[in-house]
A and B are shown apart, each in its own frame.
Chain A
Amino acid sequence: MTSLKTLTLSVSALALGTGIAAADPALIFDLGGKFDKSFNEAAYNGAERWKAETGGDYRDIEMQSAAQRVQFARRMAESGANPIVVMGFQNAPTLEEVAPDYPDTSFVLIDAVADLPNVRSVIFAEHEGSYLVGMLAAMASESNTISFVGGMEIPLIAAFACGYAQGAKAVNPDMEVIVNYTGNTPDAWNDPVRGGEIARGQVSQGSDVVFAAAGGTGLGVLQAAADAGVYSIGVDSNQNYLHPGSVLTSMLKLVDEAVYTAFTDGPGLEAGVVTMNLAAGGVGYALDEHNADLITAEMQAAVEAAREAIIAGETVVHDYRTDSTCPAF
């Protein structure tokens, strides 16, 4: 421990000596990489927005291997970056290991919880946002069959699927919801061709609204839905503009907002768990000029009523992650 501290001190002294600005924030992307059209890219957009508005500078780094989780978090902390935003649900153990060694550095963990005095954990209520787009899908569907394309069958994505199905069945209990996952290798998040195949398969089973929660794979899903003349639903960022008239809406998960807020709060930001749910505006559905013709006034009124009911606690959307079961399946 002592030699580690000496190393830390000497490296930070070195960092100061070479004139790296001490309090630049930093952003560590998860394995998907900066331009994954989804989760990491949303973080990048948030950081870029902060940069454009404040004129400040930030550092970022993309991981290539899991061994670099701890390595990069340490290197960033040693270089004096503060606060440090770490992306990804696999990083709770990373910060549990690294953050206690740098008590004066603030860390922000996106998508997981690490209970430490200098870590802000930001988690999203994806099931609530998915519930709303599930309602919209059920109301737009004429075949009474809708579908879901997930990246990998992991609890996070299952929570999207479960919320989606709950919302659809709240509108019509007889609604059929087809669920498929892309694969089990990291390629599952970036395989638009496979995404398109799955979407076409679902359409041939009668689905006329396809919701994709699969990173870059989703682009293929949206394309296939547009080609087949059915509706699709985008994810994370507002993807309505990709195929106007075909993308019914997008399930928003405002990762960019979380990063922007962290950078704005700066060093010494408030630690603790931040839940980005409907009430906090952290998730939602996208409504803009590209889908204004698709969402009727009744549909919007129904979804808004559900949104308020969820915020007020009258409707409880079950989160798959709490007990690994889904009442809608």
Chain B
Amino acid sequence: MSTKRIPHWADVTLVPLVSVLLAFAISAALIWAIGESPWNAVKLMVDGAFGSSYGWGYTLYYATNFMFTGLAVAVAFQARLFNIGGEGQAAVGGLGVALVCLYIPWPHWTLALLGASLGAAAFGALWAFIPGYLQAKRGSHIVITTIMFNFIAASFLNYMLVNFLRPQGSQDPSSPRFPDTASLPKLHEILGLFGIPFSKVPPVNISLLIAVALCGAVWWLLWRTRLGYQIRAFGESESAAQYAGISPARITIIVMLISGGLAGLMALNNVMGEQERLVLNAVEGAGFIGIAVALMGRNHPFGVFLAAILFGFLYQGGAELALWTGIPRELIVVIQALVILFTGALDNMVRIPIAKLFSLRRAD
């Protein structure tokens, strides 16, 4: 294993960093090739994403989505289960949030948040439970079943929205707006309590704090609890784990429940925090971005946190780029794809030369 020759700190920081820089270098060349200035583009993106509390607000809003879905993928991957159904689980979680917010008259947002969290996590977990059960008991491959469940979720949500949640006579297949008591406080209100001014426009809300707390909770679960140890042991070697008395079926189902619950919780941010109603295709690919975020974050909660911010930056910075220049939005997708390609697929291209450098240094 080449990884053994790299110090741990370099494996988790240097390798992703070099990969991202390479992806940005190629992106810059592309931008230059279509006749725009790469320097200007970088400035616009950084300024648009981090240059104001307005930009920060949007960056963090997107990052919150990716933290939830990234954690979902990362937890499952610790057990070597590749859950690519985050998209569907987050969508069904949104249905949970909508039902809880619409049909229960909450007196205060704190209670609504608690109820909606339970609804989101339960619905998301349920959606992941079925593929988990099929994997554990029937050996149906989780990759196949979770991706198929994304399509079932899309059809199910469309059906629910068009036939049940849509107000009569409305052309738009979306639920009515949630009552005001189910409205989550925005980040500017929270920061306002401490006297810190923040733009009121962006949709970033209290679920950012929940996502950050969950990063910590997932770390604690994986590295400080017996269940976490079992999950990781199962991931490293199923036969060894089984020999140690760990039930593969039980771990598979539990991990998928946690993973689905985390993905479902994303609905707190986009459905309850931003739209305040359930709309068609509310997840918008964040479930798939979660895979890239987890890959880039090395399936570690802290890595997921950083990678989520990076993708939040790409989303918000990319939007500013499209807004103020002639660079088409397809190119922003290309930049995102390059980041995923370099950090996910071409990992060894960077790792092996870095490992060589380190072994050279050691030989000196």
- A residues neighboring B (CB under 8 Å): 3-4, 7, 33, 61-62, 64-68, 70-72, 74-75, 89-90, 92-93, 111-112, 152-156, 183-186, 321-324
Query: For residue A152, which residues in chain B have a CB less than 8 angstroms away from its CB?
Result: 158, 280
Q: Is the CB of A7 within 8 A of B318?
A: no
Q: Is the CB of B200 within 8 A of A154?
A: no
Could you count the A-B residue pairs with CB atoms below 8 Å apart for me: how many are there?
91
Query: How many of chain B's residues have a CB under 8 angstroms from any CB in A?
Result: 42
Which of these binds chain A: B9-17, B36-44, B168-176? B168-176
Q: Is the CB of A74 within 8 A of B61?
A: no
Docked complex Cα distance between A152 and B274 (Å) = 24
Main secondary structure of the interface of A (DSSP, over half): helix
* A-contact bits for B304-340, CB 8 A (1 contact / 0 none): 0000000000010011001100001100100000000
* A-contact bits for B179-201, CB 8 A (1 contact / 0 none): 00000000000000000010111
Complex partner residue of B158 from A3, A154, A156, CB under 8 angstroms: A154
Docked complex Cα distance between A66 and B280 (Å) = 10
Complex partner residue of A64 from B202, B281, B318, CB under 8 angstroms: B318
Query: For residue A33, which residues in chain B have a CB less than 8 angstroms away from its CB?
Result: 329
Q: Is the CB of B274 within 8 A of A67?
A: yes
- B residues neighboring A (CB under 8 Å): 54, 58, 61-62, 151, 154-155, 157-158, 162, 166, 168-174, 177, 197, 199-203, 270, 274-275, 277, 279-282, 284, 315, 318-319, 322-323, 328-329, 332
Question: Nearest Cβ in chain A — how far from B303, in angstroms?
Answer: 24
Question: Nearest Cβ in chain B — how far from A216, in angstroms?
Answer: 15
What 17 new A-B contacts, CB under 8 Å, besides A66-B274, A66-B284?
A3-B200, A61-B322, A61-B323, A62-B329, A64-B315, A64-B318, A64-B322, A67-B203, A71-B319, A72-B323, A75-B323, A90-B280, A152-B158, A155-B173, A185-B151, A185-B281, A322-B169
Complex partner residue of A184 from B151, B168, B200, CB under 8 angstroms: B151
Can you give 16 A-B contacts (C-beta < 8 A)? A3-B200, A7-B199, A61-B322, A64-B315, A65-B284, A65-B315, A66-B275, A66-B279, A67-B62, A90-B174, A154-B162, A154-B173, A155-B171, A186-B281, A323-B168, A323-B169
Docked complex Cα distance between A154 and B277 (Å) = 17
Q: Is the CB of A66 within 8 A of B282?
A: yes
Question: Nearest Cβ in chain B — how far from A11, in angstroms?
Answer: 9
Question: Nearest Cβ in chain B — how far from A202, in angstroms?
Answer: 20
Query: For residue A111, which residues in chain B have a CB less than 8 angstroms away from its CB?
Result: 171
Question: Nearest 7 CB-CB pairs, A to B?
Answer: A184-B154, A184-B158, A184-B155, A185-B154, A154-B173, A65-B284, A62-B329
Query: For residue A72, which residues in chain B have a CB less than 8 angstroms away from its CB?
Result: 319, 323
Query: For residue A68, which residues in chain B have a CB less than 8 angstroms away from its CB?
Result: 319
Question: Nearest Cβ in chain B — how far from A60, in angstroms?
Answer: 10
Query: For residue B162, which residues in chain A have a CB less than 8 angstroms away from its CB?
Result: 153-155
